Amino acid sequence: MKRLKRHFAAWMVAALSVVLMATPAFADKLHLKDGRVLEGRVVKQTDTYVYFAVLIGGIEKEELFDRAEILKIESDQPEDTNADSAGGAASAAAAGAAGAAASGAASRSEVEIPDGATRIAFITLGEPPSDMVGTYINATMLRNSMKVLNDLPENERPHIVVLWINSGGGYANEVQKLSDVIEKEIKPKYRTVAWINSAISAAAMTAWTCNEIYMMESSEIGACTMFSMQGRAVAAKDLDLEMVLYQMEQISKRGGHDPQVMRAMQIRTPLSCDIDEDGNVTWYQSTKGQYLVNPGDEVLTLRSTDAVKYKVAKAIAETKDELAKALGCAEWVEVGMAADELQREYRNGVKTAEARLGELWNKLQIALEYAGNAPDEKERGRQIGRARQYLKQMRSLVEAAPSLKEYSQFTPEWFDEMDEQLRKMANPNA
């Protein structure tokens, strides 16, 4: 494969320059109220928290501290009160990063691409453990990545977009949104391919919009049972089940797949097929076919070899070069790496936000418990104030990683309920 070395090198030089300029010496001191004094450097700070890098055994480790825990900071660096929250990478990806990355791509010098070479862009959807559909893989971010590709100079724009899927599933609510982006915004402009590392449940349903599916050697696709997550996980039934079965019938048509295959991935139903001498497959929702694909006592999951055998997938490809060859590309180059980097930055941002939300949730619960058991009004007010600070930070994190508004417990309604609970605690006689 011939990569766009000069193209990518320009990216890396610019990125390295930013890192070098933004990395001061370890000269800051963080004084904590528990008596500790940490030496390192302030990475980022807002009016509610401070990111502080400490050098431990020659390894830099970043930690996040609440303002309520900090006595003072000794630093030559000016405070940046407009910095993003801990989920800032997610915020940049979801909001402005797509435009910035696209602008940067368009302003770079032209890249020499061999005549006749096929240009391929790879967009990774999922990177375990950051692989949940909805939270980490969603239509908004896929659309943002496509904006980066669409804004590339014409000679750098891809001929083929590969959606490289590695996900154990997620939220069914996001499947239709992803399918619409693929069907209406990507397929009309680019040859669109799903390349499967793992596509289970909602991830398989997402891939199903693509007319061309390729598998990695140890990959699987299927197991698309939809569960209700209200309390104990229960498989969808009645109207909910009928709706999702119909939805996937329509998505099967978009991708040119027989709906009976997806149906067997969604519910326990038999599936068999005949394969004629030309390799054409005829499917039956029964056991009468030449090949019994699913006996009907479980939902269908296809391994890579079976997916290819039954023409659900085109071929097996373990590397990018193998995939390009399977796609019929005699010579190819990879383009649009910034579009994929956008996905990676977003996943990292959401992961950071989730971890920090867990920490703040625990602190919020402790503050609420202390407030409820406070010996006097002054102490109760102090603990309520602390709880409000934690809640403020949590709200900032969710704003920075917007998929968490829909796909976590920390919805706008939850924040409203917590605000009301704190108001009542502060004014018990009101």
Q: How far from chain centre, in Å, is Cα 218?
A: 22
Report the pLDDT value the prediction gives residue 318, as an integer from 0 to 100. 98
Rg, the chain, Cα only: 26
Q: Give the predicted TM-score (pTM) of the model.
A: 0.74
DSSP code of residue 159: S
| Domain termination residue (choose one: 312, 334, 356) | 334
Report the pLDDT value the prediction gives residue 57, as an integer from 0 to 100. 45
Report the pLDDT value the prediction gives residue 240, as an integer from 0 to 100. 82
| Domain termination residue (choose one: 43, 74, 105) | 74
Judge if 247 and 381 occupy the same domain: no
Judge if 213 and 142 occupy the same domain: yes
Q: Compute the distance between CA of residue 161 and CA of residue 119 in angstroms, rounded to an integer.
A: 9
Nearest to 312 by CA among 268, 275, 270: 275
Q: 103 in a domain, yes or no?
A: no
Report the pLDDT value the prediction gives residue 8, as an integer from 0 to 100. 35
Residue 223: Cβ within 10 Å count: 19
57: alpha, beta or left? (left if phi > 0; alpha if psi -120 to 50): left
- Residues of the domain holding 410: 345-426
DSSP code of residue 125: E
Is residue 222 within 8 A of residue 205, CB to CB? The reply is: no
Q: 122 in a domain, yes or no?
A: yes
Judge if 132 and 217 occupy the same domain: yes
Say how many domains are in the chain. 3
Judge if 12 and 41 occupy the same domain: yes
Residue 306 is encoded by which pair of tokens? Answer: 């079976």
Report the pLDDT value the prediction gives residue 75, as an integer from 0 to 100. 73
Q: What are the φ/ψ torsions at residue 289 (nearest 5 degrees)? A: -75, 170
- C-alpha angle with apex 175: 208 to 166, nearest 5 degrees? 65
Judge if 354 and 330 occupy the same domain: no
Judge if 12 and 156 occupy the same domain: no
Q: 158 in a domain, yes or no?
A: yes
Judge if 259 and 371 occupy the same domain: no
Judge if 306 and 226 occupy the same domain: yes
| Domain termination residue (choose one: 21, 51, 74) | 74
Q: Are strands 271-275 and 301-303 parallel, antiparallel or unpaired?
A: unpaired
Q: 271 in a domain, yes or no?
A: no
Q: 96 in a domain, yes or no?
A: no
Q: What are the φ/ψ torsions at residue 56 (nearest 5 degrees)? A: -125, 115
Report the pLDDT value the prediction gives residue 110, as an integer from 0 to 100. 43
Q: How far from chain centre, in Å, is Cα 16?
A: 25
Residue with tokens 């930690």: 63
Judge if 353 and 314 occupy the same domain: no
pLDDT by residue for the chain (430 residues), tens digit each?
544 433 433 333 333 333 333 334 457 888 888 778 888 888 777 665 677 777 554 455 667 676 777 888 987 544 443 434 344 434 443 443 344 344 333 334 345 688 889 999 999 999 999 999 999 999 999 999 999 999 999 999 999 999 999 999 999 999 999 999 999 999 999 999 999 999 999 999 999 999 999 999 999 999 998 865 554 455 666 688 899 999 999 999 999 999 999 999 999 999 999 999 999 999 999 999 999 999 999 999 999 999 999 999 999 999 999 999 999 999 999 999 999 999 999 999 999 999 999 999 999 999 999 999 999 999 999 999 999 999 999 999 999 888 999 999 999 999 999 999 999 999 887 6
Judge if 201 and 256 occupy the same domain: yes
- C-alpha angle with apex 287: 285 to 292, nearest 5 degrees? 100
Q: 281 in a domain, yes or no?
A: no
Judge if 307 and 193 occupy the same domain: yes
Q: Compute the distance between CA of residue 250 and CA of residue 244 in angstroms, rounded to an integer.
A: 10
Residue 245 is encoded by which pair of tokens? Answer: 């079965």
Residue 265 is encoded by which pair of tokens? Answer: 């991935």
Residue 120's domain is classified under what CATH number? 3.90.226.10
Residue 10's domain is classified under what CATH number? 2.30.30.100
Q: Compute the distance between CA of residue 172 and CA of residue 224 in angstroms, rounded to an integer.
A: 9
409, with CB counted inside 10 A (0-12, 13-18, 19+), is exposed
Is residue 75 within 8 A of residue 89, CB to CB? The reply is: no
Q: 181 in a domain, yes or no?
A: yes
Judge if 180 and 49 occupy the same domain: no
Q: What are the φ/ψ torsions at residue 85 (nearest 5 degrees)? A: -80, -175
Q: 283 in a domain, yes or no?
A: no
Measured torsion, CA atoms of residues 203, 205, 207, 209, in degrees rounded to the nearest 10: -150
CA distances for 32 relative to 63, 71, 188, 361, 366, angstroms: 13, 5, 56, 21, 19
